[in-house]
Amino acid sequence: MNNNLRIGIPSKGRLSELAGELLHQAGLQFRRQERTLFARVSPLPVDVIFLRTDDIPVLCQEGAIDLGLTGSDLMAESGAAVAIRMPLGVGRCRLSLCVPESSDIRSVSQLDGKRVATSFPNLTEKFLASHGAKPHLVRLSGSVEIMIGLGVADAIVDLVETGSTLAANQLRILTDIGEYETVLIQNPKNRDPAMADRVVRRLEGVVIARDYSLLDYNISRNKLAEAERITPGFNSPTVNSTEDPNWCSVRVMVRRKEIIAVMEKLETIGASAILETAITNCRL
């Protein structure tokens, strides 16, 4: 092996494509040959290593990789001593304790001695213990949602995103155990801290750009303070003079999910020529 910085990304599954796209958009280009586990990110001294998503936290802790893309749920379950370097703004989900819709179980402590199926045994055991319950754990690596129907569990602990899997299996959430998302993790003793920082800055540029749009508008000077309260910007808005001294033009970053509401508010206070522009990358 060489001394290149190593980034571990999922080799398959829901995160695999997303991780590849993110790295490519950040200018970290690589080509994966079929069935290989490594790819070189030329011309940088960086290698991408394709791994199982749930092995990434522990392999990062052990120094096999320096950076890794994985779920914070898997990081918490593994207990690996790694740092979250950056949330990636995707894969948000909850880890929930669920029972059948028809169940008369109303509190966590009622699960004492009951059968709980999960692929998160450590988080489940810890959470139930904090509520005074010691269940019989059924440890699985997938398809947890069907285990009550199969008659092997009284409750399950599983990831929930939209809740449609639960509804399809006639389950309801008793309580949430935690909230998780996709993250970039880092081994504190990585091979090349300067290169790790450079990679992180590149990824940050893409992640922020995905979340924000650029908004331009004109506003009369006497309404500028009010407009700036509506659009405080990432750091602060850029304000330029216009030919008409009573007016100015503003350029500011706004969260994409807030953009329509912000445009409406600006229009209400008299802004004009309000333009949204998508950004694909940035350095702030």
Q: Report strand pairing: 155-160 vs 115-118.
A: parallel
Q: How far is the CB of 158 from ligand AMP (least distance, A)?
A: 5
Of 11, 16, 103, 165, the residue at the interface with ligand AMP (CB under 6 A) is: 165
Instruction: Kindly give the residue spans of alpha helices, DSSP state H, lying in the chain.
Output: 14-25, 56-61, 72-78, 121-130, 164-168, 193-211, 224-230, 259-268
Of 8, 10, 57, 91, the residue at the interface with ligand AMP (CB under 6 A) is: 91
Nearest CB to ligand AMP, comparing residues 118 and 231: 118
Residues between 201 and 260 with contacts to ligand AMP, criterion CB under 6 A: none
Nearest CB to ligand AMP, comparing residues 179 and 267: 179
Of 33, 141, 162, 235, the residue at the interface with ligand AMP (CB under 6 A) is: 162
Q: How far is the CB of 106 from ligand AMP (least distance, A)?
A: 22
Nearest CB to ligand AMP, comparing residues 44 and 146: 146
Q: How far is the CB of 104 from ligand AMP (least distance, A)?
A: 24
Angstrom distances, CA of residue 186 to CA of 80, 157, 183, 267:
11, 27, 10, 44
Site of tokens 């990636």: 88
DSSP string, 148-194: TTTTS-SEEEEEESSSHHHHHTTEEEEEEEEEE-EEEEE-TT-S-HH
- 3 state SS of 59: helix
204 secondary structure, DSSP code: H
93 near ligand AMP (CB under 6 A): yes
Amino acid of residue 158: D
Residues between 122 and 151 with contacts to ligand AMP, criterion CB under 6 A: 145
Of 87, 100, 163, 178, the residue at the interface with ligand AMP (CB under 6 A) is: 163
Span of 61-69, 78-86, 121-129, 161-169 interacting with ligand AMP by CB under 6 A: 161-169
Tokens of 199: 């990679």
- Binding residues with ligand AMP: total (CB under 6 A): 13
Tokens of 143: 């398809």
Span of 128-136, 156-164, 200-208, 231-239 interacting with ligand AMP by CB under 6 A: 156-164
Supply φ then ψ for residue 237, to 5 degrees.
-70, 155
Residues between 44 and 83 with contacts to ligand AMP, criterion CB under 6 A: 71
Contact assessment for residue 70 and residue 53, using Cβ atoms and an 8 Å cutoff? yes
Q: How far is the CB of 173 from ligand AMP (least distance, A)?
A: 10
Residues that bind ligand AMP (CB under 6 A): 14, 71, 91, 93, 145, 158-165
